[in-house]
């Protein structure tokens, strides 16, 4: 069975929450964020690169470099983070991850899953990284 969103997205949200709780003007290294949120640094580095490509994060190389939020946490929705990491079709996939759905047929829970995924999409669109720091 497919999870609603990936462990990678969960790690990304945890890391962004940590960044939102600090000084938003300071760049923070991947290693220090990884240690703070208990995520493997190499894995978090790849997540941060994805988030930087989509302008969720800013990066700076060299001494004093690292990553920081590209804008205030209250302007970064959880939906934006999940879709950046898991893909924009994350809520279109079959909950059971079967080939049956979408290829002329549907799984037994297809119609039941539609309102649940829409509710989840709406919740994630309404909540921001800043909401997690309060």
Question: Pick the residue with more confidence: 99 or 132?
Answer: 132
pLDDT at 134 over 50: yes
pLDDT at 1 over 50: no
Cβ distance 21 to 68 under 8 Å? no
Neighbours of 20 (CB within 10 A): 20
Kindly compute the dihedral angle of the four CA atoms of residues 99, 104, 108, 109, in this order, to the nearest 10 degrees.
80
Kindly state the average pLDDT of the residues 85-92: 84
Query: Shortest CA distance to 84 belongs to which of 50, 117, 128?
Result: 50
Report CA torsion sign: 130, 71, 84, 118.
positive
Provide, rounded to the nearest whole percent, the portion of the chain with pLDDT above 90.
62
The class of domain 7-133 in CATH terms is: mainly alpha
Return mean pLDDT, the chain.
88
Using DSSP's 3-state secondary structure scheme, residue 24 falls into coil
Residue 57 pairs with which residues in a beta bridge?
A: 69
Neighbours of 40 (CB within 10 A): 10
pLDDT at 41 over 60: yes
Query: What are the residue boundaries of the structural domains of the chain, listed by start?
Result: 7-133
- What value does the CA radius of gyration of the chain take, rounded to a whole number of Å? 17
């Amino acid at each position: 069975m497919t999870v609603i969103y990936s462990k990678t997205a969960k790690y990304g949200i945890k890391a962004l929450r940590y960044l939102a709780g600090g000084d938003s003007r300071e760049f923070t290294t991947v290693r220090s964020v990884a240690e703070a949120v208990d995520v493997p640094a190499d894995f978090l580095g790849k997540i941060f690169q994805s988030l930087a490509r989509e302008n969720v994060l800013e990066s700076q190389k060299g001494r004093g470099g690292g990553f920081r939020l590209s804008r205030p946490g209250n302007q970064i929705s959880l939906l934006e983070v999940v879709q950046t990491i898991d893909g924009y079709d994350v809520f279109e996939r079959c909950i059971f991850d079967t080939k049956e759905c979408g290829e002329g047929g549907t799984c037994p829970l297809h119609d039941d899953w539609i309102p649940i995924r829409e509710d989840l999409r709406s919740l994630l669109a309404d909540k921001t990284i800043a909401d997690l720091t309060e």
